[in-house]
Amino acid sequence: MEATEPPAPRSPNARLGTLSLALNLILLGWLLYGAFGRHLTPGGGVSLIIANDLPWQITELSLSHPGGSFALPVLDADQSVGTSIPVGTAFDATVTFKGPDGVACKEAVKVKPVGELLVVVRILPKLEEATLKSPSGAEEKVFKAAPGRARLVASYQGPVQYN
């Protein structure tokens, strides 16, 4: 049996070229995923919850956003409803509804879900000053919820990270 010669070792320049090519491919993949990856993953948007923090029931609730709209006939006080929105970047949304007295309310909110998975839009009462007379006849200034007026507050929750 004849002995065969072992293969000649690769030159350091060949190893360096292979390493450089591999690192460039990894970098290119990372850059492409950063630019287009969110659009390739399922969902591609955010979950949005509308929370009625008003002391009364609202009717004819509608949320309009660039990707479409969401409508609900009734949302009770201290209740919330969720929906998925295919928009993954900052957008303007409009919430319309009617209060218990039938007065229509239309408010706009800026939603910026950059990196977040969950956005909560809270419908809060807009307060106005009112004067009440006490049983003794004294006038007192108080704040009460203005009918047909509300303020919207968007809050954000990022992805849950487990350690």
Q: In whole angstroms, what is the distance from residue 66 CA to residue 44 CA?
A: 14
Question: Hey, is 145 helix, strand or coil?
Answer: strand
The secondary structure of residue 149, as a DSSP letter, is E
How does pLDDT run across 63-120, given as a tens digit for each residue? Answer: 998 878 889 999 998 999 988 888 777 888 899 998 888 888 888 888 887 666 688 8
Q: In whole angstroms, what is the distance from residue 6 CA to residue 9 CA?
A: 9
Give the chain's radius of gyration (CA, Å).
29
Residue 44: pLDDT band by 50, 70, 90 thresholds? low
**What is the CATH class of 46-157?**
mainly beta
End-to-end CA distance of the chain: 59
Nearest to 88 by CA among 140, 33, 31, 48: 48
Among 26-40, 127-141, 144-158, the least confident range:
26-40
Segment 5-27 mean pLDDT: 80
Nearest to 103 by CA among 154, 145, 71, 153: 145
SS (H, E, C) 39-99: HHCCCCCEEEEEEECCCCCEEEEEEEECCEEEEEEEECCCEEEEEEECCCCCEEEEEEEEC
Residue 159: pLDDT band by 50, 70, 90 thresholds? low
Contact 81, 121 (CB under 8 A): no
Segment 136-147 mean pLDDT: 85
Give the pLDDT confidence score for residue 158 in this predicted structure: 63
Give the pLDDT confidence score for residue 94 in this predicted structure: 92
Q: Name the residue ranges covered by the structural domains of the chain.
A: 10-41, 46-157
Give the pLDDT confidence score for residue 3 in this predicted structure: 67
